[in-house]
Structure formats: C-alpha cells, structure tokens
Amino acid sequence: MAQPLPVRKQAVDLAAGPRKVGSRIRRAPPPPPEKKLSAADIREREAWVMGIGISAVALAVMVILLAAAHWAGWTPADYVITVK
C-alpha cells in the first residue's frame, strides 16, 4: 500500500480567527486620466467627420442614381464621344 506523503506545511489553526493580511487579489490598474482636447483638435476632428459624412452621402446618391439608370435601361455605352 502507498504511504501518505509527509506533511510539509503547517496545519491551519481555524480557532485563531481570520488573519489580518491585505487582499492579494490582483486588480486592473486604474484607467489613465483623459486627455483634454484643445479647441484646435476639436475643430480638426469635426472637419474630418464632416468630410467623411459628405463623401458618404455623395457615394450613396451616386449609387442610387446609377441603380435607377440601370433599372431604366440607360447605360453610358449609349453615347459616343467624338473629339474634333
């Protein structure tokens, strides 16, 4: 039969009450403080958002116009461009 392993650690004395040791649970570090944006940074961000918005609307209008033209049977191949 197998023999029990020798005891290497001391037994815990439960009658002594809880230990007064701080928590050892690792917690996530606090988030870094938010960087304050200057007025110039805000204007630049708004300019980028406005440019992207205008481009997206223009692309959507072009797709709608091309889809309507395709549905109506029109194609740019109907026209011949001649240079004099």
CA 54, 57, 60, 66 dihedral sign is: negative
Phi-psi region of 49 (alpha: psi -120 to 50; beta: other; left: phi over 0): alpha
* pLDDT at site 51: 98
> Tokens 């050892």 label which residue?
24
Angle at 25 between CA 24 and CA 30, to 5 degrees: 115
In angstroms, how far is CA 7 from the centroid of its own chain? 52
Mean pLDDT of 45-54: 98
Confidence bin at 54 (pLDDT 50/70/90): very high
What are 57-66's pLDDT values in tens digits? 999 999 999 9
